[in-house]
Amino acid sequence: MEQKKSINFGSRGWVLIAYQFIAYLTYVAFTNWPMNALADMYGGGEKVSTLYTVAMVLGVIIQLILSRNIGKVKSIKRLGIILGMISMAFALGVMLVPPFMTTLWQVVYFGECVFVVIWCTFVLGILIGQWFPRRKGTVMGIVTIAFPLGNALLAPFAQTVFANMATTHIPNVAGGFLPFFIIGCVGILLGGVFLKDYPEQVGGFRDNDRSLTPEAANAMMEEEIENKKNTVWTFGNTFKVSGFWFITLPLGFMLMGAIGIMTQTTSIIGMYGFGPDSQQFGMMMLLIAAVAIVGSFVMGLLDTRFGTKRAIFIAVIAMALSGVFGMLNTFNTTVIALIFLAIFMGASSNFTVSAAVQYWRREDFPSVFARVNPIANILAAIGPMVVAILLFGSGLTVTFTFILVLGVISIILVLLFKPSSVKVVDDKYREAAGKPLDDALEGRK
């Protein structure tokens, strides 16, 4: 699929980009930060990480259930607004439930993790694919900057929470989260007021491509909506195709490694004597964030320019290199390992939307993405738990050996993936369903 290189997304397109960016930032703030900075107040790191993992697995199960009929959902946008509002309600609980009410806090944190992952990585991901089927690489490269930016803001967040502990002995959790709660609510308001499921419904064009007349664009949209109701890529058909697994598992492994390591950056940097309140810690977190921001955007541009498979291949090589340098277990090599990790961390969330849009038809994208995303999410969900077990049980060398293994397996899987094989299966499914065959999937790379 030819992809446009311009970054003129149209005014409504920029609203969607802002909405997705804000949702991702909310996700980082209310799921990752409690594990990194607040866990000791609410049951300990092991307990909070376990809650996160179980919640994410439940979120994946819900996504898979929804995926069976996602093409028949009347309004993806409305579903996203509802899930976003529920997420912010649980986020309010994470902010306001005091530390001495540990069990209640754990309940609201669990609920937040379940709903925020469905909202921002699943439902809004479908909106991105429906608005930007050709330009999704660049778009995802922009919105996923929220992940490294969010991690960079962990240190000032922690400083806000604990700034007056010496005199008041009371952490200011609500004050630390408040800006991100407000931003999250603004994002939902923007999405609710200015967006629809498709750009044509607000007078726009897919990919902001004005080469079509409004009449032709609307006709294509109506045909696509109708075809989504009876996609040939059903639940069973999708999971039995090897190409689906070859492209999906590397995405999950990248998320697993990136999220797993990033939830333990405080501990990893602390092994070299630098605590969260030290200048060195803040500088390292800024360095990681800066590299990840550049990595996310550049990987998005590479996706758009050279194709999704090639961009994923570069990212999994960065994952393998992170493992190689991290295994050496010196301060300097660990810094290099975290820099390589930042590159693929910035890219790891780009590709679930991008791969589903790139290698499947528009009419099949929501159904396929609704399976790609939860499979990647379930691997991402167990990342913090696996990394914590390896890090505290066996040390840094074994932990980064695990990252290297994930990288090598991912390289092999990406090399095995052939876009042409998806078209062969697509033709077979369409022929069996009595749908016309065409060259819509030809030439995708």
Q: Which residue has the tokens 């492209």?
A: 247
CA nearest 206: which of 178, 225, 184, 234? 225
Task: Name the pLDDT band for 249 (thresholds 50, 70, 90).
Answer: very high
- Which H/E stretch holds residue 264? none
Residue 61: CB atoms within 10 Å: 13
Query: Options 3.40.50.1980, 1.20.1250.20, 1.10.260.40, 3.40.190.100; which CATH number does 11-433 get?
Result: 1.20.1250.20
Q: How confident is the model at residue 14 (pLDDT cuts 50, 70, 90)?
A: very high
Average pLDDT rounded to a whole number, residues 256-264:
87
- Distances from the Cα of 312 to the Cα of 84, 296, 318, 355, angstroms: 29, 12, 10, 9
- 285 band by pLDDT with thresholds 50, 70 and 90: confident
The pLDDT of residue 440 is: 78
Calculate what percentage of the chain has a pLDDT beyond 70. Answer: 98
Where do the structural domains in the chain lie, given as residue ranges? 11-433
Quickly list H helices, 132-241: 136-143, 146-152, 154-162, 165-168, 173-194, 214-228, 235-239
What is the rounded distance in angstroms from the CA atom of residue 48 to the CA atom of residue 45?
5
Of 149, 132, 121, 134, nearest to 294 by C-alpha is 149
Half-sphere exposure at residue 31, Cβ-oriented, CA atoms within 13 angstroms: 32
**pLDDT tens sequence across 105-125:** 999 999 999 999 999 989 999
Choice between 120 and 163, residue whose per-residue pLDDT is larger: 120
Q: For residues 78 and 60, what is the distance between their CA atoms, to the nearest angstrom?
A: 20
**Helix (H) or strand (E) segment spanning residue 349:** none
Query: Mean pLDDT in the chain?
Result: 89
Q: What is the pLDDT of residues 135-153, one digit of tens each?
A: 888 898 899 889 888 888 8
**Tens digit of pLDDT for each residue in 296-342?**
888 888 888 888 999 999 999 999 999 999 999 999 999 999 999 98
DSSP 436: P
- The pLDDT-based confidence of 276 (bands split at 50, 70, 90) is low
- Residue in this structure with the two tokens 């909310």, named with its chain if needed: 26
Q: Is the pLDDT of residue 5 over 60?
A: no
